[in-house]
Amino acid sequence: MAQDFPGAKADPVGQSGAGAGNGPGIGSLFNVLLALGIVYGLLRFAGPKIIGRMNRRLATGVGSDIRIEESATFAGGNLYVVTARGRSLLLSVGSGGVQCLADLTSPTPKEPEPPTFGDLVEQEIRSVSAERRTEPPVTDETPVPEDEWTSALARLERLERRAV
């Protein structure tokens, strides 16, 4: 019926082996099961690893100098306010990578914090102990200036007059 032309492909419809009794065999069933096994293995083992790499989450260690102050999510990615080495930065993390949007560091240096009550008490204790170290101890043999004696006696006399 069909003529054989040189270089022409054979007719796959006309030679389907249905008339010859060659139905689907074990080889084609094995090929399908092999393909399903490969797809299952990719979904089961390689899928979570690939998805984990696609999740671009900014994470820092416990003792790190880098701290995430705030974060927000939007349709294109995430926004982070990050403090690192005394600077505050606004970062955008998306599918295109990480971009620094703004430097939020205040241009004026921070004022020193006022001392706490405990600091003030310690400072006073140090100053009193330093004064005690510089003053000689007062004993009975320590001479008292004459003007102090006379002023003390004058006060006692005034108190005596009031009492009478």
pLDDT in tens, 104-163: 887 776 678 888 998 888 988 888 777 666 655 555 565 656 777 788 888 888 888 777
Classify residue 59: in a domain, yes or no: no
Q: How many domains does the chain have?
A: 1
Classify residue 131: in a domain, yes or no: no
Among the listed residues 60, 69, 110, the one whose alpha carbon sits nearest the alpha carbon of residue 89: 69
How does strand 67-74 pair with strand 87-94? unpaired
Classify residue 156: in a domain, yes or no: no
Contact 58, 50 (CB under 8 A): no
The tokens of 99 are what?
């971009």
Classify residue 48: in a domain, yes or no: no
For residue 77, what are the domain limits? 67-103
Contact 61, 28 (CB under 8 A): no
**What pLDDT sits at residue 134?**
63
Classify residue 113: in a domain, yes or no: no
